[in-house]
Amino acid sequence: MNLIGFLSAAVLLTLMPGPDILFVITQSMTRGKRAGIVFAAGLCSGLIFHTLAVSLGVSLILYESPIAFMVLKVLGASYLIYLSVRTFLRRKDSVFVLSADKEAESRLYRKGVLMNILNPKVLLFFIAFFPQFVSPDADNPTGELLLLGALFILQAGVIFSLVAMLAGHLFRGLMRRRRFSLVMSVVESLIYFVIGISLMFVNNLH
């Protein structure tokens, strides 16, 4: 396996503007760096599901089934639209600083997990990206896919955490201003909505 090439590509792809890193930045801006890190941990936990799915061939089954793929798209889009409406209705709440309550952290963590698992774009990415770095003559391709998945999750966790800390630090003062906080809540709601709608147009190329 070309591990250096894989890690280089993985880091660049993780840093590219996309839903995951955008969500991490948004959570960090509106609720502080701790929230961004907790949310990032949820996203990376969701990647464990995708790693196992692509390694065991489950992802390919979902990809090959138009009905299963459509169900995944609808679930993913519906969940994001639900978050959009919920965030908009709570836009006047004071959102900065994640509650010390463990249940608040658990909810944010679960949100990250679900958003990743229900995202068909992640499924397509894993199917297209990972096999390129598996040795053609590998005796144990499943083992290699699991290793690549573990490396991808590790680098994503590090990058997301660094981004969360940076965003939380830069916007800490601004989020204490009521008007800016309100605007960011609306922006967060729009991000959920736009990405949710975009999931409905994801094509499995069949």
pLDDT mean for each 10 residues of the chain (206 residues): 84 86 87 89 93 85 81 89 86 57 83 90 85 77 88 94 89 70 81 87 66
Give the per-residue pLDDT at 81: 92
Specify whether the CB–CB gap between 46 and 114 falls below 8 A: yes
Give the count of beta carbons closer than 10 Å to the beta carbon of residue 61: 12
Structural contact between residues 51 and 145, judged by C-beta atoms closer than 8 angstroms: yes
Q: Length of the chain in residues, anyone?
A: 206
Question: Do residues 96 and 175 lie in contact, with contact meaning Cβ atoms separated by under 8 Å?
Answer: yes
- Give the pLDDT of residue 131: 82
pLDDT value for 176:
66
Residues ≥6 apart with Cβ < 8 Å to 76 = 115, 118, 119, 120, 196, 199
Q: Where are the alpha helices (DSSP H) in 90-171?
A: 102-117, 120-129, 141-171
The pLDDT of residue 154 is: 95
**Residue 12 half-sphere exposure toward CB, CA atoms < 13 A:** 7
pTM here? 0.82
Backbone angles phi, psi at 19, to 5 degrees: -55, -45
pLDDT at 138: 67
Per-residue model confidence (pLDDT) at position 49: 92
